[in-house]
């Protein structure tokens, strides 16, 4: 996976798209650069991503990472 825009953070949410449809929405459980566990990966860098309850990745899948932020009223 190559980060296209923004950054990917461990424990953030993630959606996996296949053919334009959402296959799963899960939590990023592991994030690796080379053989090191990392907390985040910046734009333009390769990384390995493991999701909490999903492991059926296929070529062409798109992973969208997001963070939920509570904003005071």
Tell me: the pLDDT tens digits for 27-70?
999 999 998 999 999 988 899 999 998 999 999 999 999 988 89
- Check pLDDT > 80 for residue 1: no
Query: Which tokens belong to 65?
Result: 């990472």
For tokens 């860098």, the residue is: 45
3-state class (DSSP) for residue 16:
strand
CA 70 to chain centre: 20
Tell me: the pLDDT tens digits for 3-35?
678 889 999 999 999 999 999 999 999 999 998
């Amino acid at each position: 996976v190559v980060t296209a825009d923004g950054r990917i953070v461990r424990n953030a949410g993630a959606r996996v798209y296949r053919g334009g449809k959402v296959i799963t929405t899960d939590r990023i459980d592991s994030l690796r650069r080379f053989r090191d566990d990392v907390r985040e990966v910046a734009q333009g860098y390769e990384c390995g991503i493991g999701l909490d309850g999903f492991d059926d990745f296929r070529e062409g899948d798109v992973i969208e990472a997001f963070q939920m932020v509570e904003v005071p009223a």
